[in-house]
Amino acid sequence: MSLIELRDLVKSYGAVQALKGLTLKVPRGSLFGLLGPNGAGKSTTLRIISTLLAPDAGHVNVAGFDALKDPQAIRRELGYVAQEVAIDKILTGRELLNLQGNLYHLRESKRIERIDELIDLLSMEEWIDRRCGSYSGGMRRRLDLASGLLHQPQLLVLDEPTVGLDIESRSAIWQLLRELKVKGTTVLLSSHYLEEVEALADQMAIIDDGRVIAEGVPEQLKKELGGDRITLRVREFSDENESGQVRKLLEDIKGVSQVVVNRAQGFSLNLVVDDESILSVIREVLEKSNFKVFAIAQSRASLDDVYLQATGRTLMDAELAVAGERDFKLENKKSMR
Amino acid sequence: MTTPMANTSTRNKERGQITELIQETLALTKRLFIQLIRRPSTLIAGIIQPLIWLVLFGALFANAPASLLPGGMSYGTFLGAGVIVFTAFSGALNAGLPVMFDREFGFLNRLLVAPLRSRSSIVFASVIYITSISLLQSIAIMGTTFLLGYGWPGFAGLLVVFLTLLLLVFAVTAMSLGLAFALPGHIELIAVIFIVNLPLLFASTALAPISFMPVWLGWLASLNPLTFAIEPIRAAYGGPIDLGIVLLHAPYGDVTGFGCLRVLMVFTIGLFFLIRPLLNRKLA
């Protein structure tokens, strides 16, 4: 059963169309990863789910409530941890949590009990009575998580929860999200880190240019793509000519479906093959033509390959493409009311 | 952790909507007061600045002929009312700034994803906060005015002073909050505050009576809402208060004390209705 159902969402900011008919279902109880490069529409999608934004067109249902008709009901069921850490620097962590508890109308006894639980859960004892202005990025994010969880929502929405965090804070947050899932909370997080979605999510969708381009169980997505990946070098740094010759040889082998010369990595060769038994055939063919095998590595399809297959570019390339042209002013405006 | 979902529906049935509205409003107000106590510089400046006005400006015109001032009062007494109103006005004009910063830093989003009973509680909290501060400042100024020998309004006078200030503060706070949601950022809001603040002071009867002014300025002053707040307060300082008598000799005719309060009331209600649709749209 789906906890979140989005149908044909369209959203524009001025001339920029952020969502172009996005459709997505998030099953109840899942730890759902929304993967995509910056500017793909992840934050906009999460803001619409959290009732901070209304779509220009489309249908939003969260926990059985229509976001346009009954946003209030959704807000009670949902905790939202924004990408930009919005914290009042003057308040202490405890004061902020108390404020948050009052905004969700928790009784005093319940509030105190929950705050104590969360301080414990997120190991914030040492910091909770200090002003938020003195917190590190990791501590701020923990406090943000605590305020999102205070009212025990059945759905926790996190926008890029570990961007810019140290490894320790990151693994603490990952651990917490896994525990939440075990206890029955549905967790929806966006990320442009492959490893994060790979490590955490049991369900996922890849978003690109305002649309969902693939969705399902991560393992399943990789499996459907089929084939194994092989990276091959005939010497440490080949030149284009040499790699081109090798490519011609490899392309004729039965069971090799794709050969790409990777200029970015010393003209190494990236192959897609049916299965690993082909390794010995490759070695044989190369030796016959007097090429040595300097390095050969075989791996299964990754989520990046899933993205590559669907969009024709790697996630890294997509990131780099938008890196220079991001409009921070516009992004800031989007989050402002 | 207990299971999620279990407690939400029962909790909402148990508790009244009013209780929840009060709970969220008080929590938001408390935040503003914690900020004030930990960063008291604006409050201290807000109390010292009018006192400087009072002492320096009072001294500057101390020798103004008493016959030019209404009821033959001293310039210090005359000025006291002006400074009280001006202080409350500037304080209320700044009310939008914290809200603007909350918008800019994304803290407002935190409030907007919460199931607030009514988002008006964000506005209520600002109004309660600014009103308390204005009253605190006014009392400080009135105390100093008294110590400087410029008099003290009687009991009825005090009621008039506070009523007048409440009307003015509500109106200006509403306007400032409206601006905080209408303007793109705090730079623009500060610019507007800068432009509005002093000219409104000079084009009012805070520093000099209308009889002092050239005709065009007299017209401006007698259309300026500040004037309608200053005159009743000044009357409260001029002995036993009678709102029935004419307090303002405007170019378009005489206005009584009740007349002043009526104008202020209309101004406040008018602004409220003007700004409500904007707030509703931004907070919907």
Task: List pLDDT tens digits, range A64-113.
Answer: 999 999 999 999 999 999 887 678 999 999 999 999 999 999 999 999 99
d(CA A28, CA A103): 26
Q: Inform me whether the C-beta atom of residue A51 falls under 8 Å from chain B C-beta atoms.
A: yes
Which residues of chain A neighbour B3 with C-beta distances below 8 Å? 183-184
The Cα of B34 is separated from the nearest Cα of chain A by a number of Å equal to 7
R_g of chain B, CA atoms, integer Å: 21
Confidence of residue A231 (pLDDT cuts 50, 70, 90): confident
For B118, the closest chain A residue by CA position comes to A72
Q: Which residues of B touch A (CB under 8 A)?
A: 1-5, 7-8, 11-12, 15, 20, 23-24, 26-28, 30-31, 34-35, 38-39, 103-117, 181, 184, 282-283
Which residues of chain B neighbour A131 with C-beta distances below 8 Å? 38
Q: How many inter-chain contacts (A to B, CB under 8 Å) are there?
A: 103
For A49, the closest chain B residue by CA position comes to B113
For B38, the closest chain A residue by CA position comes to A90
Pick B114's closest partner by Cβ from A103, A107, A154. Answer: A103
Confidence of residue A302 (pLDDT cuts 50, 70, 90): confident
For A332, the closest chain B residue by CA position comes to B104
d(CA A132, CA B69): 54
Q: What pLDDT is attached to residue B3?
A: 45
Of all residues in chain B, what percent carry a pLDDT higher than 70? 94
The Cα of B124 is separated from the nearest Cα of chain A by a number of Å equal to 14
Q: Inform me whether the C-beta atom of residue A202 falls under 8 Å from chain B C-beta atoms.
A: no
Which residues of chain A neighbour B181 with C-beta distances below 8 Å? 337
Which residues of chain A neighbour B283 with C-beta distances below 8 Å? 337
Q: What are the Cα distances from residue A200, in Å, to A5, A24, A34, A58, A191?
A: 21, 19, 11, 29, 11
The Cα of A320 is separated from the nearest Cα of chain B by a number of Å equal to 27
For B20, the closest chain A residue by CA position comes to A105
Q: What pLDDT is attached to residue A337?
A: 63
End-to-end CA distance of chain B: 33
Q: What pLDDT is attached to residue A334?
A: 64
> Largest Cα–Cα distance of chain A, in whole Å?
79
User: With 80 as the cut, is the pLDDT of residue B234 above it?
Assistant: yes
Confidence of residue A198 (pLDDT cuts 50, 70, 90): confident
Q: What pLDDT is attached to residue B6?
A: 46
Q: Which CATH number fits domain A227-300: 1.10.10.10, 3.30.420.40, 3.40.50.920, 3.30.70.100?
A: 3.30.70.100
Q: Mean pLDDT, to the nearest integer, of B245-259?
A: 91
CA angle A185, A187, A193 (to 5 degrees): 155
* Between B180 and A332, the higher pLDDT residue: B180
List all residues 6 or more positions away from A196 whose beta carbon is below 8 Å from its beta carbon. Answer: A33, A162, A174, A189
B158-180 per-position pLDDT tens digit = 999 999 999 999 999 999 999 99
Q: Mean pLDDT, to the nearest integer, of B189-208?
A: 94
Pairwise CB contact (< 8 Å): A102 & B11: no
Q: Mean pLDDT, to the nearest integer, of A191-201?
A: 88
The Cα of B62 is separated from the nearest Cα of chain A by a number of Å equal to 44
Pairwise CB contact (< 8 Å): A86 & B107: yes
Pairwise CB contact (< 8 Å): A105 & B23: yes
Of the listed ranges A273-287, B112-126, B232-246, the one predicted with least confidence? A273-287
User: With 90 as the cut, is the pLDDT of residue A48 above it?
Assistant: yes
Q: Mean pLDDT, to the nearest integer, of A121-129?
A: 93
Which residues of chain B neighbour A100 with C-beta distances below 8 Å? 110, 114
Of the listed ranges A4-13, A117-126, A271-280, B256-265, the one predicted with least confidence? A271-280
Q: What pLDDT is attached to residue A262?
A: 76
Cβ atoms of A212 and A306 within 8 Å: the answer is no
Q: What are the Cα distances from residue B227, in Å, to A94, B92, B171, B173?
A: 45, 16, 14, 17
For A97, the closest chain B residue by CA position comes to B27
B106-136 per-position pLDDT tens digit = 899 889 999 999 888 998 999 999 999 999 9
Record: fold of A2-217: Rossmann fold (3.40.50)
For the stretch A243-252, contacts whose Cβ atoms lie closer than 8 Å and that sit 24 or more positions apart, written own/partner, are A243/A267, A243/A268, A243/A269, A246/A286, A246/A291, A249/A285, A249/A286, A249/A289, A249/A291, A250/A282, A250/A285
Pairwise CB contact (< 8 Å): B114 & A91: no
Confidence of residue A179 (pLDDT cuts 50, 70, 90): very high
* Between A239 and A30, the higher pLDDT residue: A30
Which residues of chain A neighbour B37 with C-beta distances below 8 Å? none
Pairwise CB contact (< 8 Å): B30 & A99: yes
User: With 60 as the cut, is the pLDDT of residue B210 above it?
Assistant: yes
Pairwise CB contact (< 8 Å): B30 & A185: no
Of all residues in chain B, what percent carry a pLDDT higher than 90? 59
A28-44 per-position pLDDT tens digit = 999 999 998 888 899 99
List all residues 6 or more positions away from B19 whose beta carbon is below 8 Å from its beta carbon. Answer: none
Q: Inform me whether the C-beta atom of residue A13 falls under 8 Å from chain B C-beta atoms.
A: no
d(CA B284, CA A337): 10
In the 8-state DSSP scheme, what is residue B54?
A: I
Cβ atoms of B71 and B117 within 8 Å: the answer is no
Q: What pLDDT is attached to residue B7?
A: 52
Which residues of chain B neighbour A335 with C-beta distances below 8 Å? 106, 109
* Between B249 and B4, the higher pLDDT residue: B249
Pairwise CB contact (< 8 Å): B116 & A103: yes
A267 closest CA partner among A301, A230, A292, A231: A231
Tokens of B156: 């009825």
Per-domain boundaries in chain A: 2-217, 227-300
Q: Mean pLDDT, to the nearest integer, of B256-267?
A: 95
B143-162 per-position pLDDT tens digit = 988 898 888 888 899 999 99
Q: What pLDDT is attached to residue B232?
A: 95
User: With 60 as the cut, is the pLDDT of residue B4 above it?
Assistant: no
For the stretch B22-25, contacts whose Cβ atoms lie closer than 8 Å and that sit 24 or more positions apart, written own/partner, are B23/A102, B23/A105, B24/A102, B24/A103, B24/A105, B24/B114, B24/B116, B24/B117, B24/B121, B25/B121, B25/B124, B25/B125, B25/B128
Q: What pLDDT is attached to residue A63?
A: 95
Cβ atoms of A110 and A98 within 8 Å: the answer is no
Q: What are the Cα distances from residue B21, in Å, to A213, A237, B25, B59, B116?
A: 44, 69, 6, 49, 8
Q: Mean pLDDT, to the nearest integer, of A178-206?
A: 92
* Between B217 and A14, the higher pLDDT residue: B217
Confidence of residue A324 (pLDDT cuts 50, 70, 90): low
Pick B15's closest partner by Cβ from A82, A105, A154. Answer: A105
Q: What pLDDT is attached to residue A328?
A: 60
